[in-house]
Chain A
Amino acid sequence: MRLLGGLRPWVIQRLSALFVLGCFAVLAACLAIGPPLSFAAWRAWMSEPGAKVAAFLLFSSLFLHAWIGLRDVLLDYVQPLPLRALLFVAIALGLVSLEGWVVVILAGVH
């Protein structure tokens, strides 16, 4: 996969943006209309398989979107190649760790 150019990152950036936008709209509507969320209700909601899949997809889209955005920022402003490579690796590792953390969290909710 071409990591640094071409149409694919551009498309992923926009598709993830649309998905996150839709999720946020639904969440904001729920929070605005519904009663304040109790711990029990929140946990019960997040233990449903459907909610877990949705949360996983939402976090994954956020991380993917952040990766492409940060990548673009580094490509624009960080010119020395070794430093740029170091920051790429650091950010990629950070985002992959976050994704793993989300999986662990979701697997732990019953």
Chain B
Amino acid sequence: MRLSGARRPVFLNLFKIRFPIGAIASIGHRLAGVALAAALPFLVAAFERSLNSEQAYRQALAAWRSPAGRLAALLLCWALAHHLLAGVRHLLMDVDIGSSLPTARKTAWIVVAGGVVAAAGLLWVLRP
């Protein structure tokens, strides 16, 4: 039976829709991507300042060390780590690696948990 557009069931109660781990990895990839895109102007501004003068370079580093900078660093490191891992997962799926459901569930867990671990590693690499 074909349902016409108007008669399709609509069910969008977010509290009742189940979010399997694959959905969480996927929406996390999207949210992280939007956050990273929003950070681009700040990245270019920091790039400019860091090359301007010794003083501006120190100021940029000081901003990175400040409490607000640490919070931004935490958020952006997680966003970058999760987005990279989920992105690699998608690239592998493009060439049909890990696209069966049981494997996809496992790799989704790896992405979600690995994103947190890799974020900690990134914070260390980018320590001020």
- Residues of A participating in the B interface, judged by any CB pair closer than 8 Å: 14, 17-18, 21, 24, 28, 31-32, 39-40, 42-43, 46, 59, 62-63, 66, 69-70, 73, 94-95, 98, 101-102, 105, 108-109
Q: By the criterion CB–CB under 8 Å, are B40 and A70 in contact?
A: no
* Given A14-B91, A70-B37, A105-B51, also A39-B44 (CB < 8 A): no
A95 nearest CB neighbor, chain B only: B40
Chain B residues near A18 (CB-CB < 8 A): 91
Write out the residue numbers on chain A whose beta carbons fall within 8 Å of the beta carbon of B48. Answer: 101, 105
24 contacts between A and B (CB under 8 A): A14-B91, A14-B94, A17-B91, A21-B88, A24-B80, A24-B84, A28-B122, A31-B125, A31-B126, A39-B50, A40-B54, A42-B51, A46-B51, A62-B40, A66-B33, A66-B37, A69-B34, A69-B37, A95-B40, A101-B44, A101-B48, A102-B44, A105-B44, A109-B51
Contacts of A14 in B (CB 8 A): 91, 94
B57 within 8 A of A: yes
From residue B19, how far is it (CB to closest CB) to chain A in Å?
Answer: 17
User: A-contacting residues of B (Cβ < 8 Å)?
Assistant: 30, 33-34, 36-37, 40-41, 44, 47-48, 50-51, 53-54, 57-58, 80, 84, 87-88, 91, 94, 122, 125-126
Q: Bound state CA distance, A42 and B94, in angstroms? A: 38
* Candidates B37, B44, B91; contact of A59 at CB < 8 Å: B44
Roughly how many angstroms separate A15 CA and B115 CA in the complex, as a whole number? 22
Quote the shortest CB–CB distance from A104 to chain B (angstroms): 8
Given A14-B94, A21-B84, A73-B34, residue A43 in contact with residue B40 (CB < 8 A): no
- In the complex, which residues of chain B have a beta carbon less than 8 angstroms from the beta carbon of A95? 40
Q: How far is the CA of A43 from the CA of B56 in the complex (A)?
A: 12
A-chain residues with CB within 8 Å of residue B47 when the two chains form the complex? 102, 105
